[in-house]
Amino acid sequence: MGESDKLKETVKQIFTEYLNQHGHRKTPERYAILDTIYSIEGHFDIDTLYSLMEGQEKFRVSRATLYNTIVLLMNARLVIKHQFGNTSQYERCYNRGTHHHQICTQCGKVTEFQNEDLQHAIEHTRLRSFNLTHYSLYIYGLCGKCERANKKMQKNNIHKKEK
């Protein structure tokens, strides 16, 4: 059994436990969604997930069910939600290293990076009467590519007004 399958098995068990504990039904749709999500490496939005499940041999599920199920998955701590841009972005979070997000304000590219010191600093911050479950750090700025592009534009004096 590959690493990926092992992971899928584990999260399936966690989800089953969660569903049992909360008196929810164990429908094939829910497991199909979980399985698909844990096949995706990075971020995804509902629409992407919908297309993925439509295209594959997998179960086809409605958007409504996707929205419903993803709430359960978030509660079960198997998925987290991000909100850069206009669409909600999700990502699986079981057994994924903590990482932070760099977002280019120009091209919108999102890059993940890890930094233990940073992670440590955040997790050990004393909070007044607040019980931390998770966090998101979004760093905005210009990615190398966009910055170089801008410099070139400035040189050529093409740039006069922004959009």
One of 25, 128, 134, 155 touching DNA (CB under 7 A): 25
Asked if 138 and 99 count as a contact pair (C-beta separation under 8 A), the reply is no
CA separation for the pair 88, 43 (Å, rounded): 10
Spatial neighbors of 45 by CB under 8 A, at least 6 apart, are: 87, 88, 89, 90
Phi, psi torsion values for 86, nearest 5 degrees? -90, -30
How far apart are CB 59 and a copy of itself at their closest, in Å? 24
For residues 74 and 80, the answer to whether their CB atoms sit within 8 Å is yes
Residue (of 104, 89, 95) closest to 136 by Cα position: 89
C-alpha distances (whole Å) from 124 to each of 18, 97, 115 are 28, 17, 14
Cβ nearer to a copy of itself, comparing 56 with 141: 141
Q: Which is nearer to a copy of itself, 3 or 162 (CB)?
A: 162
DSSP 44: B
Tell me the per-residue interface mask from 124 to 163 with a copy of itself, x by CB under 8 A, - otherwise.
Answer: -x-xxxxxxxxxxxxxxxxxx--x------------xxx-
Least distance in angstroms from the C-beta of 127 to DNA: 26
**Is the distance from CB of 46 to CB of 65 less than 8 angstroms?**
no
Quick one: which of 7, 18, 29, 43 contacts DNA (CB under 7 A)?
29
Site for a copy of itself contains 122 (CB under 8 A): yes
Residue span 23-62 as binding mask against a copy of itself, x where in contact by CB under 8 A, dash where not? xx--------------------------------------
The yes or no reply on residue 86 touching DNA (CB under 7 A) is yes
Strand partners, 81: 90
Residue 116 binds: one of DNA, a copy of itself, none (C-beta under 5 to 8 A by kind): none
Q: Binding to DNA by residue 28, rule CB under 7 A?
A: yes
**Which member of 10, 87, 102, 106 binds DNA (CB under 7 A)?**
87
